[in-house]
Structure 1
Amino acid sequence: MSSLPVLLSADPEAPFPPVEQALRHPDGLLAVGGDLSPARLLNAYRHGIFPWYSQGQPILWWSPDPRTVFATDAVRLGSKFRRGLRRSAWEVRADTAFAQVIRACAEIPRPGQRGTWITREMRAAYERMHELGHAHSFEVFDGERLVGGIYGIAIGRMFFGESMFSAAPGGSKVALAALAVHLRDWGFPLIDAQVENDHLLSLGARLWPRPGFLAAVAELTGQPATVSPWSARVGRWPAARLADVLRPAGPLSGHP
């Protein structure tokens, strides 16, 4: 195992080093440098690698072990929250406010976090990926007020979640759950959530050993899928419907 992360070539088509070379401390740091071009980003995600760095740092590329993953049929919302959803007037849309979602994810205050890893460079790169049909957002609206959202990258039948936010209590939960329900119905079995935290685990995420995760990614990213906006596929979807279409909490699936 390498004692230092690999310095990437300036060529965006150049391969990443094998993920087995990623450091244990900090967990998953694999490479440094390169750029955030669409070709480099798509290559990274296809190999279970993602960029994550702060302002003033070089671009850092990660592949942690274990990996935090949602099965799209195993996202959980508490029974009290689901009962409240039945009375909700919120509406879910997709790919109608991508720039607003990524900006909100960057700017929303988070406990214990100073600043943001979603730099202006990152925002520009993912907005470009959205223009190309690779990056998508699910948005939660109260009237025309954006109250929650999530964004990420879709390749084949695999979705790689990047960040989510709430501007009203429960906004990010609704965005995640609605994303999962639609992906499940479209034949996407998994959502990559990257790095664990208690909130994600409470919503049903599970830890996968990296080899199993990479095997799933290789299979799912190789499957055909339409590269296009998701706005027409989702339309204006009532958040209250989640109370009925989410499967009851039970034994969790999704571990290889």
Structure 2
Amino acid sequence: MFLLDSEEIAFPDPALYDFEGGLLAMGGDLSPERIWFAYQNGIFPWFNPEDDILWWCPDPRFVLFPEDLKISKSMKKILREGKFTFTENKCFEEVMKNCQAAERKGQDGTWITDEMIKSYSTLHRYGKTKSVEVWENDVLVGGLYGVDLGHIFCGESMFAKVSNASKAGFIYFVEKYKNQYELIDCQIYTEHLASLGAKEIPKREFLKTLKQNFSDENVK
């Protein structure tokens, strides 16, 4: 594991190192510039708020290729009935705060710090992060957010206040942008996303796809 210099925005090449669990580096800061640079290189921050900043690039990488999206019969029925409505980038910071507050199985707290909310929200103003909001009767009941690298979307977190809200938002997003995104980065395995078609691929394959598809010119 590498110790980062807080004065220099740089990371070791994740293709060259295979540390246990995918932990690549520690330290640095959570400035918008560093976060944006990290995602360009397949790296993301994930740590407990009371600990040092940790940067990860796991192997294998958990991703969804849009053509592999699986929609159950029950979800097709829910979507057909129009129970939920969807918007994008309407309340990005509110989505992040709901993700921060969401209770998660096996976790006592959250990795989404107030500083992260501030930095990702700054990136959002420059069109580099994106949110999807899920509404039921004009009430925000679910959503997701992530980093937009043009032809790759790096999903960060999602929340649901009612059953199936986050799943519906994810399906809406993947179906709408299936011709834009080469893949959706889901980072680390979860049963929830595996049920929707996400799978693990070798880190090197993910980094190769990232390198081939990222361009600042593709980010709106």
- Write the deviation string for residues 182-223 of structure 1: whole angstroms up to 9, x where unpaired: 2213x2121100000211111100101000000000111137
Q: Which amino acid aligns with 2:138?
A: E
CA positional deviation for 1:38 = 2.0
Query: Secondary structure in 1 aligned to 2:82?
Result: coil
Q: Which amino acid aligns with 1:119?
A: T
User: Relative to structure 2, which stretch is displaced further, 205-214 or 127-136?
Assistant: 127-136
Q: Which amino acid aligns with 2:152?
A: M
Query: What is the aligned partner in structure 1 of residue 81 from structure 2?
Result: 87
Query: What is the aligned partner in structure 2 of residue 168 from structure 1?
Result: 162
2:17 to 5, 18, 21: 21
Per the alignment, do residues 68 and 131 of structure 1 end up closer, same or farther by CA in structure 2, a change over 3 Å counting?
same
Query: What is the aligned partner in structure 1 of residue 136 from structure 2?
Result: 142
Query: What is the aligned partner in structure 1 of residue 34 from structure 2?
Result: 40
Distance in 1 of aligned mates of 2:197 and 2:218: 26
Per the alignment, do residues 87 and 150 of structure 1 end up closer, same or farther by CA in structure 2, a change over 3 Å counting?
same
Alignment of 1:59-208 (within 5 A): 59-185=53-179, 187-208=180-201
CA positional deviation for 1:175 = 1.1
Give the count of matched residue pairs: 219
User: Relative to structure 2, which stretch is displaced further, 67-76 or 93-102?
Assistant: 67-76
Per the alignment, do residues 223 and 121 of structure 1 end up closer, same or farther by CA in structure 2, a change over 3 Å counting?
closer
Q: Which runs of 5+ in 1 are unaligned?
A: 228-256
Query: Secondary structure in 1 aligned to 2:67?
Result: coil
Distance in 2 of aligned mates of 1:6 and 1:183: 36
Distance in 1 of aligned mates of 2:45 and 2:132: 21
Query: What is the aligned partner in structure 1 of residue 214 from structure 2?
Result: 221
Q: Which amino acid aligns with 1:140?
A: V
- Write the deviation string for residues 36-94 of structure 1: whole angstroms up to 9, x where unpaired: 12221121111110000111111100000000001122221211221232112321100
| Structure of higher CA gyration radius | 1
Q: Is the 1:12–1:39 Cα contact (8 Å) retained in structure 2?
A: no
Q: Is the 2:128–2:219 Cα contact (8 Å) retained in structure 1?
A: no
Q: Is the 1:77–1:173 Cα contact (8 Å) retained in structure 2?
A: no
Q: Which amino acid aligns with 2:117?
A: R
Query: Secondary structure in 2 aligned to 1:184?
Result: coil
Give runs of ≥4 in structure 1 deviating > 4 Å: none
Q: Which amino acid aligns with 1:220?
A: N
Q: Which amino acid aligns with 1:218?
A: K
User: Relative to structure 2, which stretch is displaced further, 138-147 or 80-89?
Assistant: 80-89
Q: Which runs of 5+ in 2 are unaligned?
A: none
Distance in 2 of aligned mates of 1:121 and 1:128: 11
Distance in 2 of aligned mates of 1:225 and 1:42: 14
Query: Secondary structure in 2 aligned to 1:148?
Result: strand
- Per the normalisation by structure 1, the TM-score is 0.82
